[in-house]
């Protein structure tokens, strides 16, 4: 793997399998009485989050601590941005204190690429604008594999605000790399132009998308999208695209329902579905720690020869 994890775009299928296998081993650490291994002892990891996040940040923090790394959380309040300090200046200031890794979440696509060009520390992308959220896609893949053994050949439907979703882009890249048949669905106003070039099937019919699907992944719908005239109302959105029990029945009997969170109940997903027997949403969260431990471990660098001792 390269110095940084900027996106699924840079990972080969082998890299992806490597992460998933390592995550499997890492998960066992979380089941011990002492949930700690000394692997990243003495390493400093900075969590630099420009967007608020509970789920991802705590997940990274727990992962870092389980590997015995020293964790530093920098939650950049909006006021720092108003004070005018640029991302580059903030990063250079942090770099001056020699962290080993920076986990960055930022509202602008490409922010991690910018830092990767100027920082010596390893950069892990925890979500950049509308671009990618690679650890989310990796934990999604891990969750799918837990239930379905093999990703190749599965029919997977992703439904929601495709245009603004970094989770979509990362998942589309990853799942097609591993050979899944990926269907993406949303109102035409929220379909990214040219998305079919990624090798996905595009439909505006949620019924067509979930027909015989093995996996259904729902994406969050944001209130602000109504201001941009992307769709008329949340009620209409739910009627046309919401994941209801009836729609779930169109999928395979052993379908799993996923959501990166946080959920808008009654908008993209009905409460009964979110809490229902097919939902693996909470598993996704649990798997996030193991996957992030795997990523941190693999990016920390090291020796090549396994048999050195």
Partner 1 sequence: MKRLLKGGRLVDPASGRDGMFDVLIDGDRIARIGRDLPADGATVVEIPSGCVVCPGLIDMHVHLREPGQEHKETVATGTAAAVAGGFTAVACMPNTTPVNDNAGVTEYMLKKAAEANLARVYPIGAVSRGQKGEQLADIAELKRAGCVAITDDGRPVATAVLMRRALEYASMFDMPVIEHCEEQTLKGDGVAHEGFQASSLGLRGIPNEAESIMALRDISLSSLTGGAVHIAHMSARQTLAAVRYGKSNGARVTCEVTPHHFVLTDATLAAPIPYDTNAKMNPPLREAVDRDAMLDGLADGSIDVIATDHAPHAADEKQVEFDNAPFGITGLETAVSLCFDRLVHKGIVSLSRLIELLSVNPARILNVPGGSLAEGGAADVTILAPDLGVTVVAATMKSKSKNTPFDGWQLRGGVAATIVGGRVVYVNRDTALQA
Partner 2 sequence: MPVVLDADRMARSLARIAHEILERNRGIEEVALVGIRTRGVPLARRLAKSIHDVSGHDVACGALDITLYRDDLSGNAPTAVGPQPVIRKTEIPFSIDGKLILLVDDVLYTGRTIRAALDALIDFGRPRAIQLIVLVDRGHRELPIKADYVGKNIPTSSAQVVQVHLNEIDGRDEVEVLP
Residues that bind partner 1 (CB under 8 A): 9, 86-88, 106-111, 113-114, 117-118, 128-132, 166, 169, 192-195, 197-198, 228
Nearest distance, CB of residue 116 and partner 2, angstroms: 13
The entry of partner 1, partner 2, none near residue 304 (CB within 5 to 8 angstroms by kind) is: partner 2
In the bound state with partner 2, the residue whose beta carbon lies nearer, of 67 and 185, is 67
In the bound state with partner 1, the residue whose beta carbon lies nearer, of 145 and 177, is 177
The entry of partner 1, partner 2, none near residue 306 (CB within 5 to 8 angstroms by kind) is: partner 2
Nearest distance, CB of residue 88 and partner 1, angstroms: 6
Nearest distance, CB of residue 13 and partner 2, angstroms: 16
Q: Is 220 left (phi over 0), alpha (psi -120 to 50) or beta?
A: beta
Cα–Cα distances in angstroms (integers) from residue 37 to residues 20, 211, 265, 306, in the given order: 19, 44, 38, 18
Instruction: Report the Cα 82 to chain-centroid distance in Å.
Output: 28
Q: Which helix (H) or strand (E) holds 33?
A: none
In the bound state with partner 1, the residue whose beta carbon lies nearer, of 43 and 166, is 166
Gap between the Cα atoms of 194 and 191, Å rounded: 9
Nearest distance, CB of residue 176 and partner 1, angstroms: 12
In the bound state with partner 2, the residue whose beta carbon lies nearer, of 36 and 235, is 36
The entry of partner 2, partner 1, none near residue 169 (CB within 5 to 8 angstroms by kind) is: partner 1
Gap between the Cα atoms of 3 and 282, Å rounded: 31
Among candidate residues 96, 89, 98, 53, the one with its CA nearest the CA of residue 73: 53
78-81 long-range Cβ contacts below 8 angstroms, 24+ apart: 81/50
The entry of partner 2, partner 1, none near residue 198 (CB within 5 to 8 angstroms by kind) is: partner 1
Three-state secondary-structure class, residue 163: coil
Gap between the Cα atoms of 96 and 207, Å rounded: 53
The entry of partner 1, partner 2, none near residue 18 (CB within 5 to 8 angstroms by kind) is: partner 2
- First vs last C-alpha separation in the chain: 23
Q: Structure tokens of 73?
A: 């959380």
The entry of partner 2, partner 1, none near residue 235 (CB within 5 to 8 angstroms by kind) is: none
Cβ atoms 177, 141 nearer than 8 A = no
Interface ranges with partner 2 (CB under 8 A): 1-3, 18, 21-22, 24-26, 28-29, 32-34, 36-40, 43, 67, 120, 297-298, 300-304, 306, 308-309
Nearest distance, CB of residue 74 and partner 2, angstroms: 21
The entry of partner 1, partner 2, none near residue 113 (CB within 5 to 8 angstroms by kind) is: partner 1
Q: Structure tokens of 112?
A: 């991690």
In the bound state with partner 2, the residue whose beta carbon lies nearer, of 254 and 304, is 304
Gap between the Cα atoms of 11 and 7, Å rounded: 7
Nearest distance, CB of residue 17 and partner 2, angstroms: 11
* DSSP 8-state symbol, 263: -
Cβ atoms 94, 46 nearer than 8 A = yes
In the bound state with partner 1, the residue whose beta carbon lies nearer, of 71 and 125, is 125
In the bound state with partner 2, the residue whose beta carbon lies nearer, of 103 and 234, is 103
């Amino acid at each position: 793997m390269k110095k940084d994890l900027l996106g699924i775009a840079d990972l080969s299928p082998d890299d992806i399998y490597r992460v998933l296998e390592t995550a499997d081993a890492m998960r066992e650490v979380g089941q011990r009485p002492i949930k700690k291994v000394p692997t990243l002892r003495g390493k400093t990891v900075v969590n630099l989050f420009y967007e608020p996040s509970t789920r991802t940040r705590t997940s990274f923090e727990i992962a870092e601590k389980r590997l015995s790394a020293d964790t530093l959380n920098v939650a950049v309040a909006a006021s720092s941005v108003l004070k005018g300090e640029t991302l580059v200046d903030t990063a250079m200031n942090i770099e001056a204190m020699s962290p080993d890794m920076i986990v960055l979440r930022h509202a602008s696509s490409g922010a991690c690429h910018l830092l990767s060009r100027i920082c010596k520390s390893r950069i892990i992308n925890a979500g950049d604008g509308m671009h990618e959220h690679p650890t989310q896609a990796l934990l999604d893949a891990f969750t799918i594999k837990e239930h379905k053994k093999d990703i190749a050949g599965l029919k997977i439907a992703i439904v929601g605000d495709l245009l603004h979703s970094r989770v979509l882009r990362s998942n589309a890249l990853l799942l097609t790399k591993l050979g899944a048949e990926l269907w993406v669905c949303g109102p035409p106003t929220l379909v990214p132009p040219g998305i079919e070039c990624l090798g996905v099937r595009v439909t505006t019919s949620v019924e067509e998308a979930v027909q015989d699907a093995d996996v259904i992944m729902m994406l969050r719908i944001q209130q602000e999208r109504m201001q941009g005239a992307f769709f008329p109302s949340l009620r209409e959105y739910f009627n046309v695209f919401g994941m209801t029990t009836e729609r779930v029945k169109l999928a395979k009997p052993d379908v799993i329902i996923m959501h990166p969170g946080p959920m808008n109940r009654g908008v993209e997903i009905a409460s009964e579905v979110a809490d229902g027997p097919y939902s693996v949403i909470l598993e996704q969260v649990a798997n996030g720690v193991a996957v992030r431990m795997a990523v941190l471990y693999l990016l920390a660098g090291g020796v090549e020869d396994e048999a050195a001792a």
